[in-house]
Structure 1
Amino acid sequence: MWILSAAVVIFGVLTTLNLILTLGVLKRLREQSEQLAKTAVAEQVEDPLLSAGETPGDFANTTIDGEPVSRDDVTGARLVAFLSPLCDRCEAQIPGLLDAARSMLGGRDNVLVVIVGKDEKAGEYAERFRDVAKVVIEPGNGPITKEFRLTGLPAFALLDPFGKVVTSSIAIDRLDIPVASSA
């Protein structure tokens, strides 16, 4: 009988040890997958659109207010933002984008926000930017997204007066936005 009791105790100790090791492995795998996900996102979309020095091809579209918008409309430094209501990372960029758009040199006319989507959520999402930017809604294969070679969201670009990309990024705070003077 004591042999059976000893076997049960040994089995219990081994099972407990196995459980502890399994939990350790799961914790390590979780940490590793989080690191890989962060690295993959950073590598995948660090350059989500045209790079500095490149110029988008000709495009034409219409804003939600019925205004025509094209590459030729660039009259000064232009901020271009690509967002989607389906993008979690986009939501975190909105306060910075709204601040940048409000203080942008040239005001609303020099800020273009492209909402990538085509359902009514995209329309509701677009309303958030109507007062500070020209807003266009288009699918992921629309004329503006094609010409900027959009590969990830969110994406931001600063264009020079000739329509050439000065800088682009996945975060609005990484751009050196020219601000209007307060005087």
Structure 2
Amino acid sequence: MPVLIAVVVLVGMLCTLNLVLTLGVIKRLREHTEILGSVQGDPVRLEVGQEVGEFDTSTILGEPLMRDLLSGPILFGFFSPTCEPCRDKLPRFVEYARQQPGGRSSVIATVVGDADAAAEFVTELSQVAHVVVEDPEGAMGTALGIRAFPSVLQAERETDGRLVVVDDDVALGRPTSLSA
């Protein structure tokens, strides 16, 4: 009988310890959920309806690139050579950009990172876009509020002349419209 009592007490203590540890894990999960909620609440790029900020930069070919020089719908793509999802999305972006009305003149691709590391991306993107290579705090990324890669946005001029985002997460699998 004393052995049975000892086993029941031991099992009770283990159940109590398990309950305490489970409550601790639940408390930590709630804290992490709050932290993740606050991080995800920050936009990772400009949202639909927001105006594209001022920028003044040059493409890899030395062409001047400024917000006020852009007209018509513009497709913006942002990639980083150190980002694995960027490598996966790059071929779809290139194919989508090929179908853009206005061709290469309506597509701007920005590669964020070291110029040597960006060479592979630049080669592929140069066929279909004006390409800019810049640091993480560069003019293009700042103007479009980019905080995550890859990011693909579409912007157009409003009737009042402002360049605003019309699509903040372009679906690259969808064909573009070829309307005049």
- The answer for the alignment partner of 1:173 in structure 2 is 171
Stretches of structure 2 that go unaligned for 5 or more consecutive residues are 1-31
Aligned mate of 1:154, from 121, 125, 150: 150
Cα distance in 2 between the residues matched to 1:124 and 1:73: 28
Q: Give per-residue Cα distances to partners, 1:3-37, cap 9 Å, x unaligned.
A: xxxxxxxxxxxxxxxxxxxxxxxxxxxxxxxxx9x
Report the RMSD for the aligned CA atoms in angstroms. Answer: 2.9
2:114 corresponds to 1:111:
no
Amino acid at match of 2:95: D
- Tell me the TM-score normalized by structure 2: 0.70
Cα distance in 1 between the residues matched to 2:49 and 2:138: 22
Counterparts in 2 of 1:54 and 1:176: CA distance versus 1, 3 Å: farther
Q: Give per-residue Cα distances to partners, 1:133-160, cap 9 Å, x unaligned.
A: 0000001100111111111111011001
Contact 2:47 2:168 in 1 (8 A): yes
Aligned mate of 1:130, from 100, 112, 126: 126
Equivalenced residue count is 143
Cα distance in 2 between the residues matched to 1:174 and 1:46: 24
Q: How far did residue 47 of structure 1 move?
A: 4.5
Q: Give per-residue Cα distances to partners, 1:108-142, cap 9 Å, x unaligned.
A: 00000000002401133211110100000001100
Stretches of structure 1 that go unaligned for 5 or more consecutive residues are 1-35
Q: Give per-residue Cα distances to partners, 1:161-180, cap 9 Å, x unaligned.
A: 342000112xx426876443
Aligned mate of 2:97, from 96, 101, 104: 101
Q: How far did residue 94 of structure 1 move?
A: 1.3
- Tell me the TM-score normalized by structure 1: 0.69
Q: Give per-residue Cα distances to partners, 1:63-122, cap 9 Å, x unaligned.
A: 011111111122111000000110001111112101111000110000000000024011
Secondary structure in 1 matching 2:109: strand
